Chain A
């Protein structure tokens, strides 16, 4: 097995060397795992796909993992891949599934019957905060202004988002409304099929405010197209320090859209520790910094038990809110 591993690694190293010089430079003693097979619950080109491929690239280039392979398995909002991981747990060696906040939301709404508890949570690796933004031309300067406009005429403020009602963007807006002491079901939420069309809706004046991902908001704020009223991080984010947090405006709410990895249920402790070890070491490598910077990801590392605690809390907060919104 080991000889085979080395031959294969040498082959891979040789092939990579053909494409990129320096591919072999790191293939020395500190390798943690021979191979990882990434299971991606969505199609090529999506957010999950990018996260898995980027992580795999950093892990192999840094020499922490010998080789990485990828499998896209879409369907059922991610449910098909989850069912696959559970049903074939015993035969799926070296498999890590990528997932994110929707696994919590969709298991609550019953899109699929399983939840993160039926899998082995490995670690949350990156994340993105959420933000409420308005058009730069808008009179609304702060969250207070937005809330004041809403209190004057609640139908005059339509807040859009790039997800279905009960999806992430809607929940964030509802959380903010609730933190302000308002009825989370009172405002007019306008769903769009993607972040891009939602942004077009905001700029065209169809909606007055938009609930979106912070990194997307920063891209447009840099260009002077939108004003970020509030970000759901606990403290201001360095990437765009001008954006005030919700908490500093008296709205006690935080939210992070995490992305992370899960293994099949019932894997051995040794295997779990090896995965976590590889991912933890990854943060200190230049290769990860390269991938992370290129994708504009924020390191939010939640390992093992911390990850489970975080997921449990998020599930509780979202579950309660969804009950109030009438989705559960």
Chain B
């Protein structure tokens, strides 16, 4: 293995390759901030450039820089504008945005950068050590288990709801699941709930819904509520970049747990960064104690570090099925697979045997991509965070432009804008009524995967037999039931205790 690392290092540390990775990180970060352009489209745009380089190692290093840059850029728009551009950074906005509103935008971005770096780097170390052994783990999950995993993900929504809001959160989740059924279903080649509109044929797009649920109501609230805008002024103070020693200490175990958990979820080809970030957030909230738990959703350091670590670790984990089996688990890795094949590198079980230098170049490029990203972005953070120092009357049009463009840019379809505005108004009404919007979006994201895997299992087992036939599925479903019942039982007991005390008085 050491030999391989040296081969990889030798390939990576030329002036040309270092320039490549710097260019890649910068391009990725800046384009990644635009909500409509996730890592997938940016990599697709950069592939022809990478291929003209001719040298596979240089091309991979450039693409790794772009990839990690884009993931980091996506977190930036989640934190600063509550506009998550990719599903994997939705959970980042839960605590990142409140933190930015409290005038700690710089700190939030620093935490995101540091946890992304840690997640990516620890993930790469795990990849280096376990990749060949993990190829069988990646194939352990059948559709039935993925269904179980999605149910666990949904039941963790109780964790996203504030106290006393569990019922509201569940209702919003169900609404999200309903929205996910619009368009052609997985098992029936039939448009559903499209009202005859061609634009609804492929369903509501994630980016439109995310912008409508998070960013648009935010901008409307700024307009409707000038007092909130006054508080916004504190966002201008960005000198506070550092997190305190105590906060660092709180983050450390979160980063440790989530980089491992995120990595293993990422290894499963049907799960990926989104599930990893939601589960990471939910797990950390559930195991946090009293005060810390109450802080989640209001700008918790742990609540920001958890999804940021997990989604980066999962992105790295998704390279396990890609490199060892040649199976892309996500859209982004599918594009990367195309790039690798174009470079005459065929990922699969024989990659490590036939061309170890490529395998190691990929892994070393991950380390370099992560490191350069951290070094490059830390000094840039004060300038990026200044976006929030823009006066309100300029900031609102900026957010609106950003939001509308995000929904339009990927699809070039003007109907998306109408849907965005309609859904945005709906979301604003929900916010006035104090309904949480995050569960809706999570329900929407998990809904499609839930339905696909459920209907596939039904088809394979001619019914619900898979629940009993596959012990792991049953286990996951039981875990989900515990996750739903535990908080209710806990609060029931607390209420009972409180009543007894009152009676005693």
Chain A interface residues toward B at CB < 8 A: 20, 43-45, 49-50, 53, 57, 71-77, 79-80, 83, 109, 111-112, 155, 158, 164-167, 188, 190-197, 199-201, 203-207, 219-220, 222-225, 294-296, 327
The minimal Cβ–Cβ distance linking A204 to chain B, given in whole angstroms, is 4
Q: How far does the alpha carbon of A295 sit from the alpha carbon of B48 in the complex, in Å? A: 11
Give the shortest distance, in Å, between A153 (CB) and chain B (any CB).
Answer: 13
B487 CB-CB contact with A under 8 Å:
no
A99 to B: closest C-beta gap in Å: 16
Within 8 A of A (CB), among B327-380: 327-329, 331, 333-335, 337-338, 341-342, 346-351
B331 adjacent to A45 (CB under 8 Å): yes
Interface size class of B (residues with CB under 8 A): 35 or more
Residues of B within 8 A of A166 (CB): 189
Task: Point out the residues of chain B lying under 8 angstroms from A111, CB to CB.
Answer: 191, 201
The answer to whether A43 touches B327, judged by C-beta atoms less than 8 angstroms apart, is no
Contacts of B334 in A (CB 8 A): 194-196
* B240 at interface, CB cutoff 8 A: no
- For B413, list chain A residues within 8 Å (CB): 73-75, 80
Distance A23 CA – B338 CA, assembled complex (angstroms): 25
B186 A191 Cβ-Cβ under 8 A? yes
Complex: chain A residue closest to B328, CB-CB: A196
Instruction: Report chain A residues within 8 Å CB of B465.
Output: none
Chain B 135-166: CB-based contact to A (< 8 A → 1; otherwise 0): 00011111100000000000000000000000
| Complex: A294 Cα to B139 Cα, angstroms | 29
With a cutoff of 8 Å between Cβ atoms, the chain B residues found around residue A327 in the complex are 189
A296: chain B residues within 8 A (beta carbon): 341-342
B411 to chain A: which residues have CB within 8 Å?
43, 72-75
Contacts of B460 in A (CB 8 A): 158, 188, 190, 206-207
A201 and B184 alpha carbons, distance in the complex (Å): 21
- The answer to whether B327 and A223 touch across the interface, beta carbons within 8 angstroms, is no
Q: Is the CB of B346 within 8 A of A45?
A: no
- A49 and B138 alpha carbons, distance in the complex (Å): 30
Residues of A within 8 A of B201 (CB): 75-77, 79, 111
Within 8 Å by CB of A200, from B43, B270, B412, B452, lies: B270
B298 within 8 A of A: no
What distance in Å separates the Cβ of B203 from its nearest Cβ neighbour in chain A?
11
Contact B44–A196 (Cβ < 8 Å): no
A77 pairs with B202, CB closer than 8 A: yes
Q: What chain B residues lie within 8 Å of A204 (beta carbons)? A: 139-142
B248 at the interface (CB under 8 A from A): no
Give B322 Cβ to nearest chain A Cβ, in Å: 9
**Interface: B447 (CB within 8 A):** no
Instruction: Return the chain A residue nearest B331 by Cβ.
Output: A45
> Among A53, A71, A155, A191, which residue has its beta carbon within 8 angstroms of that of B48?
A53
Cβ–Cβ < 8 Å partners of B41 in chain A:
43-45
A94 to B219, CA, bound (A): 41
Does chain A have a CB within 8 A of B198? yes
Given A75-B415, A196-B328, A200-B139, verify A223-B459 contact (CB < 8 Å): no
B-side contacts of A200, CB under 8 Å: 138-139, 269-270, 321, 325, 327, 329
B142:A222 contact, CB within 8 angstroms: no
Q: Mark B448-482, 1 if CB is under 8 A from A, else 0.
A: 00001000100110100000000000000000000
Minimum C-beta distance from B102 to chain A (A): 36
Check if B188 is an interface residue, CB within 8 A of chain A. yes
Whether the Cβ atoms of B45 and A109 lie closer than 8 Å is no
Quick one: which of B411-428 are within 8 Å of A by CB? Answer: 411-413, 415
Q: Inside 8 A of A220's CB, which chain B residues have their CB?
A: 326, 348
Q: 10 closest pairs, A vs B, by CB?
A: A223-B348, A45-B44, A76-B198, A166-B189, A204-B139, A196-B328, A44-B41, A294-B342, A200-B269, A206-B142
Can you list 28 A-B contacts (CB < 8 A)? A44-B44, A44-B410, A45-B40, A45-B44, A45-B331, A71-B412, A73-B412, A75-B201, A75-B411, A76-B198, A80-B198, A80-B199, A111-B191, A164-B187, A167-B189, A191-B187, A193-B186, A199-B327, A200-B327, A200-B329, A201-B142, A204-B140, A204-B142, A206-B460, A219-B326, A222-B346, A223-B348, A224-B348
Given contacts A43-B410, A111-B191, A206-B142, 14 further A-B contacts (CB under 8 A): A45-B44, A72-B411, A72-B412, A73-B411, A76-B201, A111-B201, A164-B186, A164-B189, A166-B189, A192-B456, A193-B452, A200-B139, A200-B321, A204-B141
Q: With the chains together, A45 CA to B269 CA distance in Å?
A: 19
Whether B52 is near chain A, meaning CB under 8 Å from some CB there, is yes
For B141, B348, B452, B462, the residue with the greatest tally of chain A CB atoms inside 10 Å of its CB is: B348
Taking a contact as CB atoms under 8 Å apart, the answer to whether B329 and A196 are in contact is yes
Q: Is B51 an interface residue (CB 8 A)?
A: yes
Give A107 to B141 CA distance when docked, in angstroms.
36
Q: Nearest Cβ in chain B — how far from A47, in angstroms?
A: 10
List of A residues within 8 angstroms of B338 by Cβ: 50, 295
